[in-house]
Structure 1
Amino acid sequence: MQQFIDHDDFSTNHSGNEEFNTLLATQVSRRTILKTGVACSTMTFFGSSLIGEVAQAKETAKAVAATIGFKAVEAGTGDKIVVPEGYSYQVISRWGDPLFADSPKWKGDATESSADQAKQVGDNHDGMKFFSIDGKNDEGLLVRNHEYINPDFIFPKGVEVAGAGWNEDWVKKSQRAQGVSVVHIRLENGKWKPVLDSKYNRSINAHDTEMVIVGPAAGTESMKTNADPSGTKVIGTFGNCGNGFTPWNTYLTCEENVTDYFGSLKEGGAESTTHMKRYGVSSKDSEPEYRWETFDKRFDVAEEPNEWNRFGWIVEIDPFDPTSKPKKLSALGHFKHENAAVVIGKDGHVVVYMGDDQRSEYIYKFVSKNKYNPNNQAENRGLLDEGTLYVAQFLDGDTKGDLQGVGKWIPLTLESVGTNGKPLSETFKSMGELLVHTREAADLVGATPMDRPEWIAVHPQTNEVYVTLTNNSDRGSDKERKGMGGVKHPGVDDANPRVKNPYGQIVRWNEKESDPSAMSFTWDVYFLAGNPKVHPAGDLMAGTENITDKNLFNSPDGLAFDKDGRIWIQTDGNFSNKDIYEGMGNNQMLVAVPEAGDRKGEIRRFLVGPSGCEITGITFSPDYKYVFINVQHPGEYGKHPRAPKDVKPQDDPLAFSKWPMGDNEDTENSGGRPRAATVVIWRDDGGVVGA
């Protein structure tokens, strides 16, 4: 999830649907926490009935009670990686490192051309997956997203985006630095190294890679352009945030903030449609770090008004076939995809959970039309092309004194009836057009707006589903209420102490009978992040009782389970370490055990990242003895108080961070500017990480 611009901190959802925060406020008010002054507990305050259901599911599945076996690290503000005692790490595969045997070496001054970048590792690593080769623990394909670029670092001094020195090649370089890379890696003599002459290595980027559009939206009028009148082919992928992977060994990359890349050179801007406004597409200039429309008319909405509809999808990639064309999966919906959590339902249908990462957006799931066949992987390759997309509606379920909420999945089909009593077929002329307008369809059926849904992860034994709701910076603003026709924004009342919600939370739900294909669920809040150092006990801003001054954090983002049921939590939040964020330090990764005997809800800090970074992307070797994570945008100045004052990043790229230079890595050709990189971590005794 990108932090360079706060583009997700505004809402384009003016549907008026009841927000999840209102339900949370109801639950809080019902338990009179503000009256009693008793700090809430994730186990007794939220969802005890849900925990009972999960316990039954665990007994049926004979779940392993996971434990945490490392000593927690302290919060920090340094410019290096910090891991627990007894662990070691290696920095690998940095932005600008070679992809191929003939790739140019990193220069460090950003003067590489777009042709150079096409043969180098992309920028700002995000979601990723380690695909083992032949079941090996020490050799595989590292498939990884490259979400966006930092113009201050990727362009040399004197080049201003859409200004001095700006030309077509800089646009191409930016495009080739984003997308997905496939890198063959191997463990040799205790160090992970790229296999540069491998047939698998590949750059799948925004400029060079042709893709096919599959599913109901393929060939619809909204997908047709001058360059592609068929509406079935598209060049590139970008804004690649989280990821997923399938049981048939394909990679899913999620296109998130694609709307930032489109603008117009037309005087006064292009005409804005309701559809553009609902998704946040500018009718004038694109975001200032891109401005691709200046040399690529595909990104000028006046020249190509439909091009932006062809981005904001989940893309399926076969990493083991470098000649294959990636597929944009229109059946999974069109929105700002964060990640994709894939599971198999009890009836054999494939289920994909997804979040739309913008304030007051929705949570979705897709259920495939056909069933997974473990004995025929080739047959499974089309399972995500057809199926039904659903959107979540969270409800207050306390009508009988239960402590958890309930919810249901609403199908987004032409036959579905909106809250206005009319079928969606009266608004959308085909399923393809409905899916292009996924947000509008979800508005009409009464979906529940959430606090920026980020990553979703599914417990490997119980099928319990967890989602990070990273934060909500501006709920109830005058501007937003005006946009909603003057309606008082849900959640703005004395019963809800988290109107601004700067810390975020993790919500979980349990599908009926623990079946991912079910159409109803119960939900609770796993924890609310907070800061008991600066907020008094009993104030919900202090967080739930498993949040202490030893594990403070804000803005949970990346999320994954290991095989034993430990949940790994990565953060992308405010690293100022001041005021309400006192004691939180740099962004980090934590490990939690949701329930395990007397260790209920335990959370420990496992890793602290360098200055200005986000910690994101997580994958494991098959034996879980190595964990791979990504350090995105180290040294990014942003708006944080700890950033150097009166210094232009392009004039002094190393002013805030020099990482990874000098941090446990080969420093050859590593200087010049901060670099996103992958970090691999292991236990010195060779055991399972986290245990």
Structure 2
Amino acid sequence: MSAQRSVFPQIDPDEVSSNPSGNRPFREVAARALSRRSVLAGGAVAAAGFLVAGGGTAPAAAAAPAAPAGTPGRGGSRPFLGFTPVPTSDADALTVPDGYETQVLIPWGTPIRPGGPAWRKDAANSAADQAEQIGMNHDGMHFFPLGRGSEQNRRGMLVLNHEYIDQQLLFPDGDAEITPEKVAKALAAHGVSVVEIAAGRDGRWQVVDSPRARRVTAATPVTFSGPVGANHPALRANTAPQGTINNCSHGVTPWGTYLACEENFNAYFGTEDPDWEPTPQQARYGINREGFGYRWHEADPRFDVAVNGNELNRFGWVVEIDPMNPRATPVKRTALGRIKHEGCEITEARGRVVAYTGDDQDGDYIYKFVGSAPWRAQRALGRSPLDHGTLYVARFDDDGTGRWLPLTHGKGPLTKANGWADQADVLLRTREAADALGATPMDRPEWIAVNPRNQDVYCTLTNGSGRGGAANPRTPNPYGHIIRWSEKNGDNTATTFDWDIFVLAGDPAYDDRTELTEENRFGSPDGLWFDPDGRLWILTDVSNSSQNLPEKGYDHIGNNQMLAADPRTGEIRRFLTGPRGAEITGVITTPDQRTMFVNVQHPGEATVAWGEPTPENPRAVSNWPDFDPQGRPRSATVVIRRTDGGRIGA
């Protein structure tokens, strides 16, 4: 997902690696993975590489080509993807195929209950107001149905993350001065929103009053569970544990809870102390004096790394939230490791919970947690299935196979003799432990999705330097790609797998090995979700330092978009394009698949192509979705329906 751009975007901070290990990059692995077995259904494969501007060609790797738009997806005459692709766009608009309609729902600043503090288009809402309103920059999202039968498709709890904030848009006067009130408002605009929504007889959705509605912000009390308990010395700081921040994608447990995932927590910390230097552990997580330019440490010592260094250790976790119980304290599940979690995709195998997560920074890793026992038995004993199990990190090998390496204290190099005190130490320093095991660096691993038809696993690698490996076959890799793997015997608890590349993103005008066309070319895949029918929905996050720019190879790709893919044939079609400066993020449908919810994040953010919002002109880049001449752009959830009432995408 996007990193905070509090200054004009010259580069996305996620594209800068903090991995100093000498682990073999995936680029080298993929370069030798030319003999690809057809372990995963998907048709023919084609060599892929990237023509570097300097004239060299990167090593090639196998990739499934995207099929023409008319290819049937299930062996019959009707295509699996039943819509006409939309063209690319650089307009300040949201576009969907013919036969579909949209509705803007819960933009930033909407009260979480009817009658709550109203949105003020000049951004003059207070911190107290913001704590009762929908947060900024919508990201991962899930719909929890309420009621029975058809009512489940018309009413439910919508739970969504708010990844970060744009201080130029959040405050009437921007960020020229940082005050305690501004920090409080910024904290309130982060976190998670839990709102009850319902569809009226006309099909339009709205927020309804609900005792379950609440905000979980960066100031909400939290607790810790698992090997790094709430009383661990590394968690002792100047305040009681509070807050979740930079929540990117998410997960959903079989027992009905929501998992918010903390990604770029390093963004918010800094110091004015000229003598402070990061420790090796802090540097491995990207901690420095400036963070991403928020400057909160100027007004709140909680975020001053020289004054309150242990506060850092409270972030980088997966946070469990009960959407049905507003009194339940959010719990940070430490057995899942401390990294920049992009998401937490949950599946079930042999009765056990399996959780996949990517660490979203160039040169970092893909992880998997496997529960130690069937989750129903664990819960019957009053234990969390997310507290008991083994965390693994992935290694991708030359021959198209891979292995999950256990991050377990006492095994391999993770011993006391090598400086690892116990399992809590391993989890607090998850990145360093993965370095020690020889995991494969990747090109920014982001969302992960499991195919409900066969349990194959897909992961977006949004872009990178190419040091991440053969599953990252281009050097550099400005467009990104999607990899997939099949666990041994289809068992997601297995410790070995076979892998290949599902698709290389890009523009054939700049990369003649990209097997895409005008109907489906895209770059920087980020979000990923399988619907119940097995369609793979792909959401993109082209950085605003590259979006629409010919010198970056992105002028033909246009604004960010969402596409749908048929995993069996490789067919991909563009379904949606977003407004200027925006990223397309979370996606989910109602159980009947006749209503889709999609998040549009950070419209109007500073871009090289379109300019930079200012307090005097917050509409410099975009004015979506309100198009109010006195307003400002707002992240929002969009409701999408077919005009004939049919299933989305079918």
Q: Same fold (TM over 0.5)?
A: yes
Q: Does 1:73 align with 2:86?
A: yes
Q: Per-residue displacement from partner, 1:429-487 (whole Å, max 9, x unpaired)?
A: 11111100000000001000000000000000200000000001x457xxxxxxxxxxx
Deviation of 1:370 after TM superposition, in Å, equals 2.4
Deviation of 1:285 after TM superposition, in Å, equals 3.1
Cα distance change on mapping 1:84 and 1:306 into 2, 3 Å: same
Deviation of 1:650 after TM superposition, in Å, equals 2.3
Partners of 1:97 and 1:106 within 8 A in 2? yes
SS of the counterpart of 2:647?
A: coil
Deviation of 1:309 after TM superposition, in Å, equals 0.7
Amino acid at match of 1:513: N
Amino acid at match of 2:302: R
Amino acid at match of 1:286: G
Instruction: Name which of 635, 639, 643 aligns with 1:680.
Output: 639
Q: Per-residue displacement from partner, 1:191-223 (whole Å, max 9, x unpaired)?
A: 44444431011010002x111100001133222
Deviation of 1:426 after TM superposition, in Å, equals 3.0
Q: Say which is worse superposed, 577-586 or 312-321, in terms of deviation.
A: 577-586
**5+ residue gaps in structure 2?**
6-11, 37-45, 50-55, 67-72
Cα distance change on mapping 1:32 and 1:524 into 2, 3 Å: closer
Partners of 1:66 and 1:593 within 8 A in 2? no
Partners of 1:456 and 1:465 within 8 A in 2? yes
Deviation of 1:3 after TM superposition, in Å, equals 4.3
Which position in structure 1 is the counterpart of 2:191? 179
Which position in structure 1 is the counterpart of 2:406? 411
Which position in structure 1 is the counterpart of 2:139? 126
Deviation of 1:578 after TM superposition, in Å, equals 2.6
SS of the counterpart of 1:235?
A: coil
Q: Does 1:535 align with 2:511?
A: yes
Partners of 1:356 and 1:454 within 8 A in 2? yes
Distance 1:631 1:380 in 2: 39
SS of the counterpart of 1:393?
A: strand
Distance 2:436 2:139 in 1: 33
Which position in structure 2 is the counterpart of 1:463? 455
Partners of 1:367 and 1:389 within 8 A in 2? yes
How many residues in Structure 1 have an aligned counterpart in Structure 2? 611
Cα distance change on mapping 1:633 and 1:648 into 2, 3 Å: closer
Which position in structure 2 is the counterpart of 1:483? none
Deviation of 1:351 after TM superposition, in Å, equals 0.3
Distance 1:380 1:613 in 2: 43
Q: Does 1:622 align with 2:594?
A: no
Partners of 1:532 and 1:549 within 8 A in 2? no
Instruction: Name which of 285, 289, 293 aligns with 2:290.
Output: 285
Q: Give matches, 1:475-514, under 5 Å.
A: 475=466, 498-514=474-490
Which position in structure 1 is the counterpart of 2:161? 145
Amino acid at match of 1:607: L
Instruction: Name which of 224, 228, 251 aligns with 1:213.
Output: 224
Amino acid at match of 2:519: K
Deviation of 1:41 after TM superposition, in Å, equals 7.2
Instruction: Name which of 316, 320, 324 aligns with 2:320.
Output: 316
SS of the counterpart of 2:134?
A: coil
Partners of 2:596 and 2:639 within 8 A in 1? yes
Q: Per-residue displacement from partner, 1:267-302 (whole Å, max 9, x unpaired)?
A: x052321101111111x23322x2221222121112
Q: Give matches, 1:421-440, under 5 Å.
A: 423=415, 426-440=418-432
Distance 1:319 1:448 in 2: 36
Q: Per-residue displacement from partner, 1:291-326 (whole Å, max 9, x unpaired)?
A: 221222121112211110110100000000000001
Q: Does 1:96 align with 2:99?
A: no
Q: Does 1:227 align with 2:199?
A: no
Which position in structure 2 is the counterpart of 1:231? none
Cα distance change on mapping 1:236 and 1:27 into 2, 3 Å: same
SS of the counterpart of 2:372?
A: strand
Amino acid at match of 2:113: F
Distance 1:607 1:264 in 2: 42
Partners of 2:29 and 2:469 within 8 A in 1? no
Distance 2:256 2:425 in 1: 30
Amino acid at match of 1:160: D
SS of the counterpart of 2:309?
A: coil
SS of the counterpart of 1:385?
A: coil
SS of the counterpart of 1:370?
A: coil
Distance 1:629 1:103 in 2: 24
Partners of 1:372 and 1:380 within 8 A in 2? no
Amino acid at match of 1:683: R
Deviation of 1:415 after TM superposition, in Å, equals 2.2
Which position in structure 2 is the counterpart of 1:52? none
Q: Per-residue displacement from partner, 1:588-624 (whole Å, max 9, x unpaired)?
A: 00000010xxxx1000000000111000001110111
Distance 1:565 1:250 in 2: 23
Given the two structures, how large is their TM-score scaled by the length of structure 1? 0.84
Distance 2:238 2:507 in 1: 53
Cα distance change on mapping 1:462 and 1:523 into 2, 3 Å: same
Cα distance change on mapping 1:366 and 1:671 into 2, 3 Å: farther
Cα distance change on mapping 1:227 and 1:577 into 2, 3 Å: closer
SS of the counterpart of 1:339?
A: coil
SS of the counterpart of 2:63?
A: coil
Distance 2:535 2:87 in 1: 20
Partners of 1:4 and 1:636 within 8 A in 2? no
Deviation of 1:29 after TM superposition, in Å, equals 9.5
Q: Say which is worse superposed, 446-455 or 568-577, in terms of deviation.
A: 568-577
Distance 2:469 2:353 in 1: 35
Cα distance change on mapping 1:28 and 1:651 into 2, 3 Å: farther
Which position in structure 1 is the counterpart of 2:247? 240
Deviation of 1:377 after TM superposition, in Å, equals 6.6
Q: Give matches, 1:536-615, under 5 Å.
A: 536=512, 540=513, 543=514, 545=515, 547-573=516-542, 574-576=546-548, 578-579=550-551, 580-595=553-568, 600-615=569-584
Given the two structures, how large is their TM-score scaled by the length of structure 2? 0.89
Partners of 2:341 and 2:358 within 8 A in 1? yes
Which position in structure 2 is the counterpart of 1:2? 2
Amino acid at match of 1:206: A
**5+ residue gaps in structure 1?**
46-57, 229-233, 398-404, 477-488
Cα distance change on mapping 1:196 and 1:687 into 2, 3 Å: closer
Cα distance change on mapping 1:583 and 1:32 into 2, 3 Å: closer
SS of the counterpart of 2:144?
A: strand
Q: Does 1:110 align with 2:123?
A: yes
Distance 1:122 1:519 in 2: 39
Task: Name the % identity.
Answer: 46
Q: Give matches, 1:349-364, under 5 Å.
A: 349-364=352-367
Distance 1:91 1:243 in 2: 22
Amino acid at match of 2:391: L
Which position in structure 2 is the counterpart of 1:255? 262
Distance 1:213 1:4 in 2: 26
Distance 2:282 2:503 in 1: 35
Distance 1:15 1:41 in 2: 26
Which position in structure 2 is the counterpart of 1:48? none
